[in-house]
Amino acid sequence: MADGIYPADFSFWFYVPNKGAAIFFSVGFLVSTTLHLWQSLHYKYLKVTGLFVLSGLLNLVGFALRVLGGFGYHNDKAVFIASSCFIYVVPPVLALANYDILGRVLYYVPYLSPIKPSRVLSTFGILSFTVEALTGIGASFSFSPNAPEDRVHAGKHIMRTSLALQLILNSSFLLLAAFFHRRCTREGLGGARGVRQTLITLYVSTGLLVARAAYRIAEHQALESVDRRNPTDLDPVVRDEWFFCVFESGLMLVNMVLWNVRHPRRYLPVGVGVYLDRDGRTEVELPPSKETRGGVAKIMELFGVGRMCHGWDKAAG
């Protein structure tokens, strides 16, 4: 169905989902997910890139349900809510995969890492889990048209908050990666394959996630004044399906394929115990360090307090 043409009966999507587009993206995510699964097993990297498999499966289910919407189930509330929720929770999972990959890059050049490499996944992971929880709660509230008005309104606020947090989180992640990249460049390691190639892919991937979050924020702003009784007055961002196909479906599929083509295992070692020597060419394997500090010390180190205290002790000595 062309954009701007509405079904005779009620549709939770404001339009009947285009069957061809939904099938295309379902097949696209199926192929990319299958390839990610094979790559993860082949490279023995499932612990890192298994999140791409999970993301692909979530999108696959979401778009399969959207196909049902195109085949006459556009007025089925359960199909609409399930499809929307599955699709909405994917970007935070993809972001979590990016955090893990950056952590692997920091492990590869640990002596130039701004923070302890293991802190990247734990810190950003906790924040991402919070965003994921907010996204799931907000989506379940917002996409329930028969829910009480106050609940729908609360859901919209939660969704806006989660989207804003996604933007802030991804922007902070980019700054951390760029700061580390600059350090490597100054030391003559910026051109190392494991650093340069992986970080370039991370920049592009995170940029796609930021663009998607910006689109969703614009969509939620447009939804503030929705009147389903007069859909022709809807903002095109909500009314025209091609916005969703480009800025949600398209960007997320490109992100998945990007990591298929530029899989991190092509540039990084399997384990975190292999480091790049300062000569930029030699890889050395060292025994993993043992964590002996308590929880308070770890938190202090995360914010740089531990290093400052260590510096003060040296200065005092």
Residue 181's identity, in one-letter code, is: H
pLDDT of 85 over the 80 cut: yes
Question: pLDDT per residue over 29-69, tens digit each?
Answer: 999 999 999 999 999 999 999 999 999 999 999 999 999 98
Q: Looking at residue 89, what is its pLDDT? A: 86
d(CA 190, CA 125): 26
Secondary structure class of 298 (helix, strand, coil): helix
User: What's the whole-number mean pLDDT along residues 187-211?
Assistant: 94
The reported pLDDT for the residue numbered 33 is 98
Cα 61 to Cα 76, 97, 141: the distances in Å are 16, 20, 20
Cα 99 to Cα 145: distance, rounded to the nearest angstrom? 35
Q: How far apart are CA 99 and CA 76, in angstroms?
A: 37
Mean pLDDT of 279-300: 65
Greater model confidence, 38 or 2: 38
What average pLDDT does the segment 98-118 reach?
93
Residue in the structure block whose two tokens are 């490279």: 43
For residue 289, what pLDDT band results from cuts at 50, 70 and 90? low
Cα atoms in the Cβ-side hemisphere of radius 13 Å centred on 24: 10
Q: Which amino acid is at 95?
A: A
Could you tell me what percent of the chain has a pLDDT over 90?
A: 46
Domains contained in the chain, CATH given: 19-286 (1.20.1070), 293-317 (no CATH)
Q: In angstroms, how far apart are the furthest CA atoms of the chain?
A: 81
Work out the average pLDDT over 115-143: 80
Please tell me whether residue 107 adopts helix, strand or coil conformation.
helix
Amino acid identity of 188?
Answer: G
